[in-house]
Amino acid sequence: MVRQSCQWGVVVGALLAAQSILAAGIDGHVVDGDDAPLAGALITLIRADALYSETVYSDNKGRFHLDTALEGKLTLRARAPRFADAQQTVDLKTKRSANATFAMRRLTSPNELSDGLTGSAQFKRLKFKSETQREDFQNDCLSCHQIGNERTRKAAPKEYWQATVERMLGYVGSNNPETLAEYVELLSKAFDGKPYIVEQSTDVAPEMLRAKITEWKLPGALIAHDGEVNPKDGRFYLVDGDAVFITDPVANRTETVPVPAMGVPLGGNFPAMGLPIPIGMNQSRHGMHSLQYGPDGRFYITSALGGTITSFDPASREFKDYSVGGGALWPHTLRFDRKGRAWYTLAVSNHVSMIDPATGGPHTAHTTSPVPFLAIDPDGDRPLRSGGALCDVGPTVLQLLGLERPSEMTGMDLRERKAAAVRA
């Protein structure tokens, strides 16, 4: 009994401690230039190393409360549509709580208002001649990045758009001169450097007032895809370039695990295949794209540039490469089936492939689409028949060489029948 009450004491003590941690934080309010409350402003508290932040919204009275376990000198930033960004320093070292007021400056100049619009609002400047053209443009351009943000809406002469659109269409393997000319026209007309004045609605939804956004910035990462949680340690795992990022959402720290070269050269398998290294990736070997947690407790990663599947064991920190082989380019997205095999797509070479971690071997599925077969025989008088299969290639080559088809071969000569040329 005594022992039990002792235990209660410990639990209550822990609860009180937790409450005092939760009570710490920042209270404040946000007002506009006329001292009227500003609802829906984003208030972000940023740790000194800028790798971690917490955000809440101001309520209908312009008030906000941000619970935090962060300490020390921190940056507090306020943002609201049609207002200039504001920031101040708060010190949570001594009192563990603080008050902050933001008096936001309303934007008035047309240029500032235009620059404050979202990229998607700026996208509306593009005047498509038809719905089909809009759809084509969205497929051609928006699959990689936004059009309308600061970098992609520069006012520039037609020569700039000509060179840029040609390069961009090249990334997706398109060289249609008509499309190129149309897009150059569209873009150079839309982004003329003049301010774009439209009213963009920004309603404050009730859910926003209860929301808290926590962000962990991955040090040095550029485009990290598809985070996965490791059920064994509760950490987030992401990959980018030649590194695995492991984020601990309790300690709020990210560990960067560099991936060894494992014999993969800079630029991955692109130089060996006589292909240019994709833009911005010449310092990378693996160009890791996405990952999936496997049934064996390892992560399986599509190494897009290196053309391999890489496994990573979070316990031993060991990496292992599985070659994809063939002309396979850009392993992209991977999923496990019920038998524990990893199926993945290859974006550039347009394949579906599989590895079985149990055997370690790659398996490339046969396509059901037609595959060209060419036989060049200067003396030939028998055209190729239709409806061939892969098993027909061996018998055809043997018979072209004048050799008998062994009975174990089930295929048939791909040339059209001539009396007695093919044994049934």
Residues engaged in binding ligand HEC (CB under 6 A): 140-141, 143-145, 147, 151-152, 164-165, 167-169, 171-172, 183, 187, 279
Q: How far is the CB of 167 from ligand HEC (least distance, A)?
A: 5
User: For residues 127 and 212, which CB has a smaller minimum distance to ligand HEC in the complex?
Assistant: 127
Q: Residue 216 and residue 224: Cα distance in Å, rounded?
A: 12
CA–CA dist 187, 179 (Å, integer):
12
| Adjacent-strand bridge partners of 26 | 66, 98
Residues 175, 167 contacting (CB under 8 angstroms): no
Would you say 126 and 135 are in contact if contact means Cβ atoms under 8 Å apart?
no
DSSP 365: P
SS3 state at 4? helix
- Could you give phi then psi for residue 217, rounded to 5 degrees? -90, 130
Structure tokens at 378: 């200067």
Question: Which residues are CB-contacts of 126 (< 8 A; sequence separation ≥ 6)?
Answer: 134, 137, 147, 186, 187, 190
Q: What's the min distance (Å) between Cβ of 310 and ligand HEC? A: 23
Shortest approach of ligand HEC to residue 193 CB, angstroms? 14
Place of tokens 């235990």: 7
Residue 227 near residue 221 (C-beta atoms within 8 A): no
Query: Which of residues 52 and 330 has its CB atom nearest to ligand HEC in the complex?
Result: 330
Both tokens assigned to 127: 């005047």
d(CA 174, CA 233): 45
Q: Which is nearer to ligand HEC, 70 or 190 (CB)?
A: 190
Q: Output 74 or 147, the one with its CB closest to ligand HEC.
A: 147
54 or 140: CB nearest ligand HEC: 140
State the minimum distance, in angstroms, from the CB of residue 191 to ligand HEC.
9
Q: How far is the CB of 143 from ligand HEC (least distance, A)?
A: 5
Q: Do you know the residue count of the chain?
A: 424
Residue with tokens 């150079």: 188
Q: How far is the CB of 29 from ligand HEC (least distance, A)?
A: 40
Nearer to ligand HEC, 141 or 342 (CB): 141
177 vs 378 by CB, closer to ligand HEC: 177
Please, what is the minimum distance in Å from the beta carbon of residue 187 to ligand HEC? 6
Taking the C-alpha atoms of residue 31 and residue 42, their distance in angstroms, rounded to an integer, is 13
Instruction: Specify the residue, 183 or 319, whose C-beta has the smaller distance to ligand HEC.
Output: 183
Query: Which segments within 349-397 are labelled E, that is strand?
Result: 351-356, 361-364
Q: How far is the CB of 172 from ligand HEC (least distance, A)?
A: 5
